[in-house]
Structure 1
Amino acid sequence: MSAVWKHFKVSEKEAKTAVCRHCSAELSRGGASAKTYSTSSLIYHLKSRHPEHHAEYEKDTAAATATAAAKRKVAPSPRTPTPSVADFLEKAKKFANDSAKAKGITKRIMEFIALDDQPFSVVEDVGFRRLIDHIEPRYTIPSRRHFSDVCLPEMYNVVSTNVHELLATDIAALSFTTDIWSSDVSPTSMLSLTAQWIDTDFKLQKIVLHSQEFRGSHTAVAISEAFANMFDTWRIDRSKVHAVVSDNARNMAKAMEDSNLKGIRCMAHTIQLAVNEGLLSQRSIADVIAIGRKIVGHFKHSPLAYARLQSIQEQFGMPQKRFQQDVSTRWNSTYYMLESLFAQKRVLATYIADHDLPATFTAYQWVLIENVLSLLAPFEQITKEISSSDASVADVIPLLAALKRLLNKEAETDHGVKTTKSALLEAVSSRFSQADSEPLYCIATVLDPRYKDHYLDVGKKMRTREMIQAELDLGKPLGDGDGQVMHSAGDENSAESKRARTTDEPRTVSLSDMFDEILQENNPFARQRTSSTAQQLDGYLSEVPIPRSNNPLEFWRTNQGRFPDLAQMARRYLSAPCTSTDSERLFSAASHVIDEKRNRLSCEKAEKLLFIKKNLPLFLKK
Structure 2
Amino acid sequence: MLGDEIAPNHIIHFDDHADSLRTTDSSKHGRFKSKVWKEFTPILSAGKVQSAQCKHCGKQLSGKTSGGTSHLSRHLKICTGRSVTNARCQQGSSLQHTLSKNWNFDREESIEELTRAIIANSCAFSITSNEKFRKFLAGINPTFSLVPQATVEERFLSIFSKEKLKLKEEISLTHGGVFLSLGNWEHGLEQNFLCLRLQYIDDNWKINRKIIRCVCSNIAAKCVVKEAIDDWSLKHKILGLAYMCASDKTRVTMDLEENLSGQNYLVAKGKLLTIPCMIHALHELFDWELHDFILQTGVTCFRYMTFSPVRKKKYEEILSKLCLSRPSFGSKRWYLTFYLLKAALQFLKAFPNIEKEDPPSYIGPPSPQQLEAAENFCKIVEPIYDAIKVVSDPHCMTFNSYFHALWSLRTTLQESSTVANIDHVLDLKNMQTQFDKNWREWYLWLSIAVVLDPRYKIRFLELRFTQGFGHDASIYISEVRGKVYELFIQYSFHVNEQSVDMLNEIIRDLHLDAYGCESLYDMSQSYNAQEGHDEFKELNEYLGAELCTQNEDFDILKWWKDNASMYPTLARLARDVLAIPGCAVSSDSAFLELDERASILYRKVSLEVIEALICTQDWIRSSQE
Q: TM-score, normalised by structure 2?
A: 0.65
How far apart are the structure 1 equivalents of 2:331 and 2:216? 26
How far apart are the structure 1 equivalents of 2:340 and 2:513? 38
Could you say if the C-alpha distance between residues 291 and 527 of structure 1 is closer, same or farther in structure 2, counting changes exceeding 3 Å? same
Shift of 1:563: 0.9
Could you say if the C-alpha distance between residues 433 and 616 of structure 1 is closer, same or farther in structure 2, counting changes exceeding 3 Å? closer
Deviates more, 1:155-164 or 1:100-109: 100-109
Q: Max radius of gyration: which structure?
A: 1
How far apart are the structure 2 equivalents of 1:201 and 1:125? 43
Query: Match for residue 243 of structure 1?
Result: 240
* Equivalent residues of 1:407, 1:421 under 8 A apart: no
Query: Match for residue 202 of structure 1?
Result: 205
Query: Match for residue 556 of structure 1?
Result: 560
Query: Match for residue 311 of structure 1?
Result: 310
Query: Match for residue 598 of structure 2?
Result: 591
> Alpha carbon RMSD of aligned pairs, Å?
4.3
Could you say if the C-alpha distance between residues 575 and 251 of structure 1 is closer, same or farther in structure 2, counting changes exceeding 3 Å? closer
How far apart are the structure 2 equivalents of 1:491 and 1:427? 29
Matches within 5 A, 1:335-354: 335-345=338-348, 346=351, 350=355
- Letter aligned with residue 311 of structure 1: V
* Equivalent residues of 1:291, 1:361 under 8 A apart: yes
- Letter aligned with residue 272 of structure 1: H
* Equivalent residues of 1:386, 1:392 under 8 A apart: no
Picking from 576, 579, 594, the partner of 2:580 is: 576
Shift of 1:110: 1.0
Gaps of 5+ in 2: 1-23, 36-103, 258-271, 463-473, 501-506
Q: Give me the identity figure in percent.
A: 15
Picking from 477, 485, 493, the partner of 1:466 is: 485
Query: Match for residue 273 of structure 1?
Result: 284
Query: Match for residue 183 of structure 1?
Result: 187
Picking from 423, 447, 453, the partner of 2:452 is: 447
- Letter aligned with residue 134 of structure 1: G
Shift of 1:339: 1.0
Once the two structures are superposed, what CA deviation does each residue of 1:190-227 show, in whole Å capped at 9, x if it has no partner?
A: 221111211223221232212233336xxxxx110111
How far apart are the structure 1 equivalents of 2:509 and 2:279? 25
Query: Match for residue 375 of structure 1?
Result: 380
Per the alignment, in what secondary structure is the counterpart of residue 196 of structure 1? Answer: strand
Shift of 1:584: 7.2
Query: Match for residue 541 of structure 2?
Result: 539
Query: Match for residue 118 of structure 1?
Result: 123
* Equivalent residues of 1:256, 1:262 under 8 A apart: no
How far apart are the structure 2 equivalents of 1:526 and 1:614? 48
How far apart are the structure 2 equivalents of 1:289 and 1:349? 23
Matched, 1:156 2:160: yes
* Equivalent residues of 1:463, 1:486 under 8 A apart: no
How far apart are the structure 2 equivalents of 1:163 and 1:140? 33
Deviates more, 1:585-594 or 1:333-342: 585-594
Moved >6 Å (runs of 4+): 325-328, 485-488, 522-526
Matched, 1:231 2:229: yes
* Equivalent residues of 2:318, 2:347 under 8 A apart: no
- Letter aligned with residue 117 of structure 1: S
- Letter aligned with residue 254 of structure 2: E
Query: Match for residue 393 of structure 2?
Result: 388
Query: Match for residue 262 of structure 1?
Result: 273
Once the two structures are superposed, what CA deviation does each residue of 1:560-600 show, in whole Å capped at 9, x if it has no partner?
A: 122111111111111112122348759745234345xxx32
Once the two structures are superposed, what CA deviation does each residue of 1:465-509 show, in whole Å capped at 9, x if it has no partner?
A: 431243134679x9xxxxxx99985999xxxxxxxxxxxxxxxxx
Picking from 275, 294, 297, the partner of 1:288 is: 294
Gaps of 5+ in 1: 1-26, 39-98, 217-221, 300-304, 479-484, 493-521
Query: Match for residue 107 of structure 2?
Result: 102
Q: TM-score, normalised by structure 1?
A: 0.65
How far apart are the structure 1 equivalents of 2:353 and 2:585? 35
Picking from 140, 151, 161, the partner of 1:135 is: 140
Could you say if the C-alpha distance between residues 32 and 343 of structure 1 is closer, same or farther in structure 2, counting changes exceeding 3 Å? farther
How far apart are the structure 2 equivalents of 1:178 and 1:475? 35
Picking from 434, 440, 450, the partner of 2:440 is: 434
Query: Match for residue 92 of structure 2?
Result: none
